[in-house]
Structure 1
Amino acid sequence: MTDGFDFSPGAQVPLSGAAGQTAATQALASAAYRDGPVAKLLDANSEWTVSEVKAPRMSLFEPNLGEAFARAVQMRMLGGGRGQVIQSFGTEPQTIVEHCLAANRIRKTRDARLTAVMVIFGLLFLPGTLLWLGVFQLRRSIAGAQDKRMGALGTALLVALGVMVLIFLIKLPFGGFWGIYLRGVVVAPVIGWYIAKQICERTAKELRDSWGGLLSGGGIGAKVPETVPNHPGQTAAEELRKALHKLTAEQHSNVVFYAGPKGILGMGTRWGSWQLAEDLVSADPDKEIDPFRSWDVIRAIHDQLRMLERTPLHTGGFPKPSVRHWVVSPIGEGAKSVERGGTSEEEGFQIKGVELQRICDKQQFDAGDRHYLGVQFVLWDGQLVITLMITVTLLHKTLRIEVTGHALGPIHPLFHNKPSAPSKTVSKTFRFWETKSIPLPLVNAKEVVRLTARAPFTWYPPILDHLGGKLVLPEPFGLRHAWADKPWRHRFMADDALRTATPVLRVVHEAALGVLKHHGVDTERFGNRSLALSGQIQEAAPKKADLYDA
């Protein structure tokens, strides 16, 4: 019996993510387990960001979609010296990164076994291994051409080599040890390929089970034992734990970035803007207005917005929204990095308290960050994020209350495709006018060769990045907005975004008018303007409010 602390990972609990955010989180997490060409990710680029694929120098070492995605996300989110990331509203980025770690761990175990196979059946019989690899590389290069006849030529070359090898084995120019070794040079790589095929198929099944489990809602949490130290002196696990903690802190930061026509990064572009601006006039000509600040108006609006889910009738209504104070920092449209100035990791990347009030009351004109009050709805299991931002400014005697609408649509459909068993359709033997589907192996011959050739180099990934290329993530990077669609193509999502604006605007105006009345302001013109905006906001047509026709 020992008294030492148990550092084992413990039981795995079902993956749940944050409330109402599981669909988007699991869709993005499933990409870490996928197969298929990495170029498919380019089809999922959004209007906010564009990812790229660095072309391989040798196609034999090219990563597939899951390998490239999992490595790129892990390095970007947890790598040393990384830049700050954009919040991923509607998702849990830590869960996605943990699945990338879990997928990489599964592949690492496979690659360790394939490396052993490569040493025994490849390195010891290196001439034959290089010959077979050269033929497969030539076939991949030829088959990669658009001309189908060139692909057929590559297959013909492989068949021709097999015939030549058979003839070579029947009659050799050498005898004794060298004769046996030359036969081994030809045969051993084939035996190694067969063993490697069994390893690859078992791993492919495990990866596909995780992929399908996530999208069907039955996936369990990612198994990441490397985040749990095996002994008190192990620093790698502690560093990884700190990196995940930092990622969560950035996710909950209240500092966002406005990138010109790209809108607020992570929230999407503005689709609507409604402004109430009138002069402050005393309700009693014999008295002055009681002094108040922008923060007083914002605080009253904040209290009213927290009761949005209440309704006078027992039907329908809003779910509970998230009401937060935001600090919006301006950056250039083409900026490649962001920096949350004035915050630190120890403070959780938050601006709050006196500093938040100072920004709200003082920084309303000229350079500097701006304060916004945001009400955010995460709907459709995280697929739709609706955010309305409210700001109050006072210039000379004019009080302006502005409400802007932002909407981020669903994750690209690519991430929702479930795994399907490989098959091909052929004609029946006798009833040739009918067809049937024949199942194919999960991993074909070309894929086995690619995985086995890559395995020894996975211990030093920069070599693979140099030879096989890699996925280049867009900057500034955020997991959600990098692959998000617009909501306007989905009828019900568009309706939800448009319907949200009217009640929020009216609550904002009602709260603001209450503060003005309390401080002796004549609210007649504010009230008239509010009624006009209430009619204007009901137009069911989103605009591009960030594009100024000037």
Structure 2
Amino acid sequence: MGAVVAFSGTDFDFLRPGAQVPLTGTDGETAATQALASAAYRDSPVDALANADGKTTVKAPAFSLFQPNLGEAFARAVEIRMLGGARNEVVQSFGAEPQTVVEHCLAATHIRKERDTRLTLLMGVFGLLFLPGVLIWLAVFQLRRTLGKANGSRAGVLGGAVLVVVGFFTVLLIVKPPLSGFWSQYLRVMMVAPVLGWFWAKRICERTAKDLRDRWGGLVSGGGVGAKIPGAVPRNPNETRAEALRQNLAKLATEQQSNVVFYAGGADKGILGMGSRWGSWQLAEELVPREGLAEIHPFRSWDVIKAIHGRLRELERGPLHTGGFPKPSIRHWVVVPIGEGADKIVRPTGAEVEGFTVKDFEIQNICNTQQFGKGNRHYLGVQFTGWDGQLVITFMITVTVLASTLRVEVSGHVLGPVHDVFMGAPPANEKTVSKTVRFWETRTVALPLVKTDEVVRLAARAPLTWFPPVLDHLGGKLALPEPFGVRHTWAGKPWSHRFMADDALRAATPVLRAVHSAAIQVLTENGVDTEKFTGRSSVLSGGVQGAEPGKADVYNA
């Protein structure tokens, strides 16, 4: 029995039987994670994803017969991008578990690999022994696909005509072959043997399609089973592939826990993984000693941030038992600017960084000193993940002191639900028709999961799956946008969903008031005259009640 492991963060349980990976990540992130993971099992056209989000592109195939479907292309693209040895850094996926998505891609690839192994054996028998006949049939189906794309509504008629012609040619070879002796018998069998192979291939494809669709439907509906990845755990030092997989999955989990995020500018990207900035509120007044004091007591930005941090922890508590905020994630972030057109991210390195995470003393140093000019900036973030990971609301707070002016800035970021292309369930493989005699009554007819053209496509691709670069050249592939992260790449806008928009707008008021209250308390304790701060806070508190989403990162200049 193969070794099995359950992954959770960077910890591995080597004692569990069978490479079973749990479906759920952290609490509240299951729907988005499972919707993204379901793409690995889908059999819809690959163009559906490219046409839907406008970011992902599809490399055109040299021969459409070898073109992958959405699940095949998605799984391969994500595996290479997330686990490849020469890959660039990956953006964190807030509201989803990227490791779970990758594990389902690996599981789907393993299922297809088992199917392709059987199909390769079939192609070895019928493809090598009856190669001329197989090539003729493949050319016929390639011609059907080409005519289908070129002629639109007439594709069915033209494709049927092509099959009729080839069928007539096959009958002629069987009845009156042009040669005699052994070759006459070979010509008779040459066109028929691939059809027999097609029947066996269809059974293999149907069984695998049912398995893949069951997993697809289970993930979209919120259930299903975990991803099974045989060989994910090395059992001896010589299993270098399994060890590399284990290390890459651990690296992915470590990147997900990083406290460094990247600002890519513009109205669409904003902070990668958190979404664009839709609102910003500034409390900026002069630091003046309270009446009766000669000067204020010295304090630093970090003192204000610590007080705000403590006050934000109380957001989930309220005087009334009426629900309210879920427990937020409150964390100190280092924000790195990368430019609007950057195609990759580079995480900070050095003695002050450990495992992609900037150490606490360096965060404090950035907060107190890097407030003007070049360099990274410090922000305190409070993040709410709702709608099972479909909505991520983040408020970023920064405190700066320039000359005698203290500024407390709160900005709102929001990441919307996963694109609708990931949400659809498998279409029913049945149809309702009228009965022949009692035409006023209906009956349900089961349809095959895999059509004739699809069986031919899978059989033609199967031998080439052992040579992925060749298959990518012949069939094309999915090109993922950069900088890449599985969550923000395929996130939609939340403002078209009434309740999601309400949640984002309503969260701004209590967060802003908690930040201002904590900041003013620190100022009071250090002898600052807070009259102007309190007045400005009241104005902002009133204005934020009517907050509307905007494009705070777009400047009219």
Q: Normalized against structure 2, the TM-score is what?
A: 0.94
Match of 1:84 among 58, 83, 89: 89
Matched, 1:230 2:245: no
* RMSD, aligned CA: 1.9
Q: CA deviation at 1:110?
A: 0.5
1:45 paired residue number: 53
Partner of 2:74: 69
**Mapped contact 1:391–1:402 kept (Cα < 8 A):** yes
Which residue is 2:8 aligned to?
none
Q: 16-25 or 61-70: which moved more? A: 16-25
Instruction: Tell me which moved more, 387-396 or 436-445.
Output: 436-445
Could you give the per-residue CA deviations for residues 376-398 of structure 1, whole angstroms, max 9, x where no partner exists?
A: 00001000000000000111111
CA distance in 2, matches of 1:316, 1:422: 43
Partner of 2:31: 23
Q: Quote the Cα distance in structure 1 between the aligned partners of 2:16 and 2:178.
A: 59
For 1:540 and 1:507, how far apart are their aligned partners in 2? 17
Please say if 1:192 is aligned against 2:197. yes
Instruction: After superposition, give the CA deviation of every residue in 1:103-129 in whole Å (9 maximum; x if it has no partner).
Output: 000001110100000010111111111
Query: Residue 62 of structure 1 aligns to which amino acid in structure 2?
Result: Q
Amino acid at match of 2:27: A
- Helix, strand or coil: the match of 1:450? helix
Structural mapping, 1:136-535, within 5 Å? 136-261=141-266, 262-342=269-349, 347-423=354-430, 429=436, 438-535=445-542
Q: Is the 8 A contact 1:249 1:345 kept in 2?
A: no
Give the partner amino acid of 1:28: L
Matched, 1:117 2:122: yes
**Is the 8 Å Cα contact of residues 343 and 349 (structure 1) preserved in structure 2?**
no
- Given that 2:352 and 2:358 are in contact with CA atoms closer than 8 Å, whether structure 1 keeps it comes out as no
- Structure 2 CA distance for partners of 1:197 and 1:344, relative to 1, 3 Å: farther
Please name the residue that 2:9 is paired with.
Answer: none
- The aligned counterpart of 1:3 is none
Shift of 1:315: 2.1
What secondary structure, in the 3-state scheme, does the structure 1 residue paired with 2:96 have?
coil
For 1:119 and 1:32, the matched residues in 2 are separated by 28
Between the aligned partners of 2:93 and 2:149, the Cα distance in structure 1 is: 36
User: What displacement does 1:281 show?
Assistant: 0.1
1:206 maps to a residue whose letter is D
For the residues of structure 1 that align with 2:71 and 2:513, how far apart are their CA atoms? Answer: 47
Distance in 1 separating the partners of 2:475 and 2:158: 24
* Paired AA for residue 366 in structure 1: G
218-227 vs 464-473, which moves further: 218-227
Contact 1:44/1:483 (<8 A) preserved:
no
Q: How far is the alpha carbon of 1:412 from its aligned partner?
A: 1.0
Q: d(CA) in 2 for partners of 1:102 and 1:502?
A: 44
What runs of 5+ residues in structure 2 fail to find an aligned partner?
A: 1-12
Aligned position for 2:545: 538
**AA matched with 1:99:** H
Deviation at 1:431, TM superposition (A): 7.1
Equivalent AA in structure 1 for residue 331 of structure 2 = R
Contact in 1 for aligned 2:352/2:359 (Cα 8 Å):
no
Q: Whole-Å Cα distance in 2 between the matches of residues 542 and 53 of structure 1?
A: 33
Q: State the alpha-carbon separation in 2 of the partners of residues 489 and 7 from structure 1.
A: 45
Going from structure 1 to structure 2, the CA distance change for 1:332 and 1:105 (only over 3 Å counts) comes to same
Q: Tell me which moved more, 423-432 or 372-381.
A: 423-432
Q: Return the letter of the residue paired with 1:392.
A: V
Q: Deviations over 1:355-414 (max 9, x none)?
A: 111111111111111100000000010000000000001111110000000011111111
Residue 226 of structure 1: SS of its match in structure 2? Answer: coil
Distance 1:243 1:259, change over 3 A: same
TM-score by length of 1: 0.95
Aligned with 2:515: secondary structure? helix
Unmatched 5+ stretches in structure 1: 1-5
In the TM superposition, residue 188 of structure 1 has moved relative to its aligned partner by: 1.2
* 1:175-234 deviations in Å (ceiling 9; x for gaps): 332122222211111111111111000000010011111122221210012211233331
Match of 2:331, SS state, is: strand
**Equivalent pairs: percent with the same residue?**
66
The CA distance in 2 between the partners of 1:84 and 1:253, in whole Å, is: 11
Contact 2:94–2:273 (Cα < 8 Å) also in 1 = yes
Q: Given that residues 353 and 359 in structure 2 are in contact (C-alpha distance below 8 angstroms), is that contact kept between their aligned partners in structure 1?
A: no
**What secondary structure does 1:144 align onto?**
helix
2:348–2:356: 8 Å Cα contact kept in structure 1?
no
CA distance in 2, matches of 1:440, 1:207: 17
Q: Find the aligned partners of 2:112 and 2:15 in 1 and give their Cα distance.
A: 21
* Structure-2 separation of matches of 1:311 and 1:79: 47
- Superposed displacement of residue 18, structure 1: 1.1
- Alpha-carbon distance in 1 for matches of 2:441, 2:332: 65
14-23 vs 514-523, which moves further? 14-23
- Quote the offset at 1:88 in angstroms: 0.5
Secondary structure of 1:147's aligned partner: helix
8 Å CA contact 2:220–2:425 kept in 1: the answer is: yes
The aligned amino acid for 2:163 is L
Distance in 2, Cα, partners of 1:31 & 1:226: 22
Q: Post-superposition shift, 1:43?
A: 3.4
For residue 41 of structure 2, the aligned residue among 33, 37, 57 is 33
**Offset, 1:343:** 5.6
Cα deviation for residue 152 of structure 1 reads 1.4
Q: Distance in 1 between matches of 2:352 and 2:127?
A: 49
Evaluate the alpha carbon distance shift between residue 7 and residue 536 of structure 1 in structure 2; reply closer, same or farther with a 3 A threshold. Answer: closer
Compared CA separation, residues 523 and 146, structure 1 to 2 (3 A): farther
Distance 1:343 1:499 in 2: 40
Higher mean C-alpha displacement, 279-288 vs 316-325: 279-288
Number of corresponding residues:
542
Q: Residue 94 of structure 2 contacts residue 392 of structure 2 at CA under 8 Å; is this kept in 1?
A: yes
Q: The residue matched to 1:233 in structure 2 has which SS? A: coil
Q: Which sits farther off after the overlay, 309-318 or 295-304?
A: 309-318
Equivalent AA in structure 2 for residue 183 of structure 1: R
Secondary structure of the structure 2 residue equivalent to 1:329: strand
The alpha-carbon deviation at position 44 of structure 1 amounts to 3.2
Pairwise CA distance, 1:316: 1.7
What is the CA distance between 1:342 and its match in structure 2? Answer: 2.6
Flag the 1:535–1:325 CA change in 2: closer, same or farther, 3 A.
Answer: same
Which string of whole-angstrom CA distances, capped at 9 and with x for unpartnered residues, describes residues 497-518 of structure 1?
Answer: 0110100100100100011011
Task: Flag the 1:186–1:9 CA change in 2: closer, same or farther, 3 A.
Answer: farther
